[in-house]
Structure 1
Amino acid sequence: MPIRKISADDLKALLAEPKEYAFLDVREHGQYGEGHPFLSVNAPYSIIETCAPLLVPCFETLCILMDAGDGVADLVHARMVEMGYANLVVLNGGAPAWAEAGYTLFKGVNVISKSFGELVEHFCETPSISAEDLHEMQQHNMPVMILDGRSPKEFQKMSLPGAMSCPNAELAYRLPELLSDQNTPVVINCAGRTRSIIGAQSLRYLGLKNPVLALRNGTQGWRLSGFDLCHGEVPQALPVLSADAEQLANSRAEKLIAQFGLKKVTPVQLQTMLDNKLRTTFLFDVRTEEEYLKAHWAGARHAPGGQLVQATDEFLGTRQAQVVLSDDLGLRAAGTAIWLKGMGHDVFVLEADARKGDERGAEIKPSVTLTKEIPLRDVAQSILQGAQLFDASRGMAYRKAHIESAEWVNRANLTKVEDKKSPIIVIGQSTDLVYGVMQRLTELGAEDVAGCVGTPESWRDTGYQVIATPYTPTERECIDFLFFVHDRHDDNLEAARQYLAWELNLLSQLDEQERSVLKPLVASELESMCHEAGN
C-alpha cells in the first residue's frame, strides 16, 4: 500500500475536526516522554503488533503515525497494513517537523490527564492542605482520615504515615464503610498532584459535609517538607459494602448521572455499538482487579477508574471514540465518566451489573508467536558454532542482567544485518520484544533467526554467566526508558522538585486548540453544596 504523507500544519487542522482518529507516536517510550504532541499516544514500533489493537481496536480508524523523522513510521505502516489497518497516514518529517512548524512537544507522560487535573483544581477551586499542616494535625492527634488514591502497588512502594490505600474510583464507593461521622476531615493524596485533586473533587461532588482536601504535591511534597514516608506497607483489604451502602451508592450514581448529564446505555444498545465496525467503542470495567476476575461483562477490558482517568493515553488511542464504562452499582462508572467527559471523550455508563457478567478471569490481550524457537539449553552450543546472540529486553533490564555474550538491540535501531547467512539468536524477557526484533532481522534479510524467551534466573539456572552493565546501553542508546526525573520516588529531592514544577507548568504550554479539549463539567447545584460543605 502506498504511504500517504501529511504535513504538520494539515495535521494540526485535522486534529480539530469532529471525527475519529488515532495520533500514534511510534517512537520508543523514552523518546515519546522527552517530547510529543499533546493529543498523541505512544505506540512503540518495538511492540506495535500487540499495543496497536488495544489502543486502536477499529481497523478503519484514521491512524496518523509519527516517528523521529528517521523512517520508523514507514516500517510501522507496513506492519499495520499487514495487521489489517486500512486508513494510515504518516506525518512528514516526524516529531522534528512538528516542532519546526511551531507546535509544542510536551515532555513527560499522561500529559492530557495531568493538564486536566491542574485545570480542575483551578476551575473547581479544590481545597488543599500542605504537608506541614497535615503533619501538625497528626502530631497533635487531631482527627483526620488520609486516603491514598493511587493503585495498591504504588501505595506499597511508599505511603504517608497513617494513610489507607483506596484508589480514586473506590473513594466514593467505599467511604460509607470507612467513615461514620460527618466532621472528620478527609485528605486525599497521591505521589504528586493529579490524583489528589481528582480524588478530592470526586468526594466533594457528593456533597459531603466532611471537609475534603487534596494533599498539596502528594508524597513528593511530603518528602520535600522533610517528613519520612513509609515503605512496604501492605494495603488493607477494601471493605465490602453493606446493603445500605449499596443502596446509597446506587442513588448517588443516579444523582451524578442526572446532574452531570451523563449518558446511559443498555446491554442491547451496547451490542449494537460494538457490532458497528466503522466506529470505535471501548468497553472498560472500572472496578478492582479482584472483582473483575470474579465476573465481568463480555468483552470488557479491565481499567480501574482512577488509573483510566490518570493515564487515558495508555488505554484510549482513538479520539472521538465511544467509551462505555461498566461496574456494579453505577457509582464508580459515573464518577469515572465525569472526568473522561471533561477530557473530551464521548462516555456512556452501562446499565448492567458487572457482577452478573458471563466472563471470568483475566483479560485476553493480543499476543504474538515466535516463528522459530530454540531451547535455552541449546543456545550455548549454537554460539560456539558461530551464532550471534542479541538481547531484545528493555534497555534498563539489560543493564541489570544479561547473558555475558549477548548484545543489546532495539527493533527501532536495527537498520542492517552484516552477515545474513549466519544464525542469529534473539533472547529476551518479553515475547513481544523478541518477536519484534526477529521480524525486523528477517525483514533485513537474515536467513536463520530463532528466539528464546526467559529470565535472568532461568539463564543462571541453565549455567550461563549473567552480568550487569550499569551504563550499557548508554542513556542516549536507551530510547525505551524515560530518564526525565525517573528517580523522583527514590528520594531524589531535586528530581521531585523538577517534576512538580513540570506539572504546574503544563497549562501554560497549551495553545487554544489543546486547551479547548479540556472542559471540566459543571453541576451548579452540587458544586454549591460542595462549597457549603467546605465552609
Structure 2
Amino acid sequence: MSIDEALERLRTPEPIAFIDIRSRHHYVANHPVFAVNAPIDSLETHCDTLFGSESATALVIGDDELLTTWASHLITQKTNLQPKVIRGGFSAWEAAGLPTWGGEYTPSKAFGEWVEQTGSMSHISPLEAMKSPVHDQFDVRPLEEFNRFTLPGSRHCPTGRLGALKTQQTHLRVHCAGRTRGIIAAQTLVDLHFPATIQCISGGTQGWEIAGGTRQFNHPTEQVDLITSSEENSRAQVLIKKYHLPIFTATEEVAWLNESRDFRLLTVCEDPLDTPSISPTTLIQSTDQYLGTHHIPVIVEGPHALDVSVTVLWLRRMGWDARIRETNATASQTTHEISAQQSAFVKIEDHCTVIDTRPSRSFSRSRVQNSSWVPRSLFRELLPTVTYVVICETDATKRQTAILLAWLGIEQATCISWQEVSPDLIDHSHIQHRTHPVDQPLFFPNRHHGNLEDAKGYLHWEHSLLPTLTQHGQIPWAPITQTPTQPQSHLTEFYQGVHR
C-alpha cells in the first residue's frame, strides 16, 4: 500500500489498526503519530495483548521490507486482521513529511495535557505542597510503583478507587510520578463531585525532586478507608447518569454474538484478580499497550462499579466507543496441556554459535553459557555460513523464528525453546549488556533515579505533545467539559486533518 493510500485509509471511520513493528528502542525514538508498537522481537505477545478476534485492516510499517512482510504474515496467523504493508516503511513516511513524534504511551500522555488545558481540576506546586501538607495525600499509581518510592505523607489509592474513599477532610491532594495519572485522578474526583478541595501536585515525584524535595522509599502500605459496595454503586451511578455512559445489556450481547459482531471485552480492577485483568490507572495512562484496533466497541466489566465506570468515562473521552457490561462475564475455562514428562533437553554441540532471542532483561538474568543476545530485529547480522542454535522464549516463538530464519536464508540454524535447555548449561549470574538493548527504550532513563536533568527533560517532553499535534493537524479530542454522545477515534480525527 502506498503512503497516499494509507493516509486515505486512516481518514476513513472503519475498523483499522496502525502498527509499527520496529524495535521498541527505535519506536520510542520516533514513530508515526498514534501508531501502536508491536515490535518484531516480541510480536506474538503484542498481538495477543493489542488485538482480540476483531476483523480490521492493519496498516503495518517497519524499516526492513522483508522483516515487515514476515511480520504481516505472522499478524495474519495470530489475529483476524488484514495486514497492508506501507511501501517504503518508516523512512518513506518521514521523507514525506508526515506526522511523527517520540516517546512512550504518547496518546495517553498527550491526552493528559489536553485534560489539564480543558478540564476543571486544580494544581498546586511542589513547593507550596511542601509548605502546607494535608492529611489526605494520595499516590494514584499501581501498588508496585508506590512501594518503590512515593512522596512523604502519601498513601496509596489508585485512580479507580479514589471515588470510593471515605474521608471527612476538606482538602485532598493526588499525584503520580509525573503528570498524566495525577491529572486524570484529580479530574476524576471533580467529575464525582467529591466533597473536598482537590489539587494535583504538579510534576508528581519528579517535580517534587526538581523543587528540592526528597522522595520516600520502600514506604509501608497503609490501608485507606473505603465506602461500602452499595455506596460505591451509588457513586458510580453519578458518573453513569452525568455522562450518559452506555450500558451493554445482556440482550445486546447475545444478539451481537449471534451476529458475530466484533467487540473487545476488557476486565478492569485496581486490585489483583485470579483471572486476567487490567488496572484502570494503567489502562488509561497507556491505552496504546492494550487497544490496537479503532472503530470497534470496547466492552468493560469488573468486580468494582467505580473501576468500570471510571474506565469507560475516560476511554470515551479519548475517543474509544467504550460501554459498561451489564453482567459480569463467566470466567472462561482455559485449559493448558501438561505433558506427563519433562520435554527432552536438546543437546547443544560445541561447534555451534548460540544466540538468544528472548527479552534482553531475561537474558541479563540467566542465559546459556557463552551465548549472545540477538533479537529478531537484528537477524540481518547473522551469517549464512555459521551454524546457529537459536534460543526462543516459547514453542510458539520457536516456530515463527524458524520461519523468519528460512526467509533470510539462514539455513544452518536450529531453534529451541528455553524450556528445552538443560539446567546444567544455564548461567544465572546477572550481567549488563555492553550496548543498550534495542528492545528497551532509552527515554530519559534516569528520571526516577535522581537525575534531575532527565526529570526536567521528561516533563518538558510532555508539555511538547499538544504543540506537536497542532503543528501537523488538529487536537483530536473534544474539550473535557463536553460529553461526546458518540466518541470519535483520535486516530481518524487526527489524520482527517493531515495532508501531504
Range of TM-score over shorter length: 0.7 to 0.9
CA distance in 2, matches of 1:429, 1:172: 41
Query: Equivalent residue for 1:167?
Result: 158
Query: Equivalent residue for 1:288?
Result: 270
1:340 is matched with which residue: 315, 318, 323?
Answer: 315
1:427 aligns with 2:391: yes
Whether the 8 Å CA contact 1:25–1:67 is kept in 2: the answer is yes
Whether the 8 Å CA contact 1:69–1:96 is kept in 2: the answer is no
Amino acid of the structure 2 residue aligned with 1:441: L
CA distance in 1, matches of 2:396, 2:28: 21
1:255 is matched with which residue: 217, 238, 242?
Answer: 238
1:507 aligns with 2:466: yes
2:116 is matched with which residue: 104, 118, 121?
Answer: 121
1:383 aligns with 2:345: no
Query: Equivalent residue for 2:498?
Result: none
Deviation of 1:271 after TM superposition, in Å, equals 3.8
Question: Could you report, residue by residue, the CA deviation over 1:277-311 in whole angstroms, capped at 9, with x for unpaired residues?
Answer: 4x531111221343x32xx7xxxx51211111111
CA distance in 2, matches of 1:241, 1:210: 16
1:496 is matched with which residue: 431, 447, 455?
Answer: 455
Amino acid of the structure 2 residue aligned with 1:451: I
1:25-36 alignment runs, 5 A limit: 25-36=20-31
CA distance in 2, matches of 1:420, 1:374: 28
CA distance in 2, matches of 1:59, 1:210: 43
Of 321-330 and 479-488, more deviation after overlay is shown by: 321-330
Please give the root-mean-square deviation of Cα atoms over the aligned residues, in Å.
3.1
1:214 aligns with 2:200: yes
CA distance in 2, matches of 1:366, 1:281: 25
Whether the 8 Å CA contact 2:120–2:187 is kept in 1: the answer is no
Deviation of 1:82 after TM superposition, in Å, equals 3.5
Query: Equivalent residue for 1:131?
Result: 126
Whether the 8 Å CA contact 1:428–1:454 is kept in 2: the answer is no
Amino acid of the structure 2 residue aligned with 1:51: H
Query: Equivalent residue for 1:57?
Result: 52
Q: Report the secondary structure of 2:200's partner residue.
A: strand
Whether the 8 Å CA contact 1:50–1:366 is kept in 2: the answer is no
- Alpha carbons of structure 1 residues 213 and 59: separation in structure 2 relative to 1, 3 Å: closer
- Alpha carbons of structure 1 residues 152 and 401: separation in structure 2 relative to 1, 3 Å: same
- Alpha carbons of structure 1 residues 270 and 304: separation in structure 2 relative to 1, 3 Å: farther
Deviation of 1:100 after TM superposition, in Å, equals 1.6
Query: Equivalent residue for 1:76?
Result: 71
Whether the 8 Å CA contact 2:70–2:404 is kept in 1: the answer is no
Deviation of 1:262 after TM superposition, in Å, equals 1.5
Query: Equivalent residue for 2:190?
Result: 204
CA distance in 2, matches of 1:38, 1:365: 39
1:359 is matched with which residue: 311, 326, 331?
Answer: 331
Deviation of 1:194 after TM superposition, in Å, equals 0.3
Whether the 8 Å CA contact 2:40–2:376 is kept in 1: the answer is yes
1:441 is matched with which residue: 405, 412, 431?
Answer: 405
Whether the 8 Å CA contact 1:383–1:389 is kept in 2: the answer is no
Whether the 8 Å CA contact 1:169–1:286 is kept in 2: the answer is no
1:394 is matched with which residue: 359, 382, 386?
Answer: 359
CA distance in 2, matches of 1:366, 1:488: 41
Query: Equivalent residue for 1:317?
Result: 292
CA distance in 1, matches of 2:336, 2:296: 20
2:424 is matched with which residue: 449, 457, 462?
Answer: 462
CA distance in 2, matches of 1:106, 1:431: 35
CA distance in 2, matches of 1:497, 1:416: 37
Query: Equivalent residue for 2:376?
Result: 411
User: TM-score, length-normalised on structure 2?
Assistant: 0.86
Deviation of 1:124 after TM superposition, in Å, equals 1.3
CA distance in 1, matches of 2:83, 2:22: 16
Deviation of 1:446 after TM superposition, in Å, equals 2.9
- Alpha carbons of structure 1 residues 124 and 35: separation in structure 2 relative to 1, 3 Å: same
Aligned length: 479
Whether the 8 Å CA contact 2:268–2:278 is kept in 1: the answer is yes
Of 432-441 and 18-27, more deviation after overlay is shown by: 432-441
User: TM-score, length-normalised on structure 1?
Assistant: 0.81
Amino acid of the structure 2 residue aligned with 1:144: H
Query: Equivalent residue for 1:40?
Result: 35
2:443 is matched with which residue: 481, 484, 488?
Answer: 484
Deviation of 1:393 after TM superposition, in Å, equals 2.8
- Alpha carbons of structure 1 residues 432 and 468: separation in structure 2 relative to 1, 3 Å: farther
Amino acid of the structure 2 residue aligned with 1:494: E
1:112 aligns with 2:107: yes
- Alpha carbons of structure 1 residues 510 and 218: separation in structure 2 relative to 1, 3 Å: same
- Alpha carbons of structure 1 residues 366 and 236: separation in structure 2 relative to 1, 3 Å: farther
